Amino acid sequence: MIPLMGGALAGVAKTLIISFFSEKLILKTLFGSDKGGGVLGYVSRKTTNDLDDEVVENMRQQLAEQGKL
């Protein structure tokens, strides 16, 4: 019984770690680590709408304050 629970707990831990790193990777790809970086930064630079730049920058700041970037 105990080895079965240990295996299940190891699987849960592995899944949590992979999902944590996947989330960080996706956020880094979308927002980048610097101002104007990442996919969304590139797209917002290519548009002429200043609102896009503001939205992306606000989202980047909030994620940086939460420690996700």
Please write the tens of the pLDDT for every residue from 5-43: 667 777 788 887 777 778 777 877 777 767 667 787 777
36 located within any domain: yes
64 located within any domain: yes
Segment 40-47 mean pLDDT: 76
1 located within any domain: no
The whole-number pLDDT of residue 2 equals 55
12 located within any domain: no
Sign of CA dihedral 55, 60, 65, 67: positive
Alpha helices by DSSP H, listed for 1-69, are 2-31, 38-46, 50-65
What's the domain range around 45? 24-69
8 located within any domain: no
Split into its structural domains, the chain has a count of: 1
pTM for this structure?
Answer: 0.46
62 located within any domain: yes
The whole-number pLDDT of residue 1 equals 47
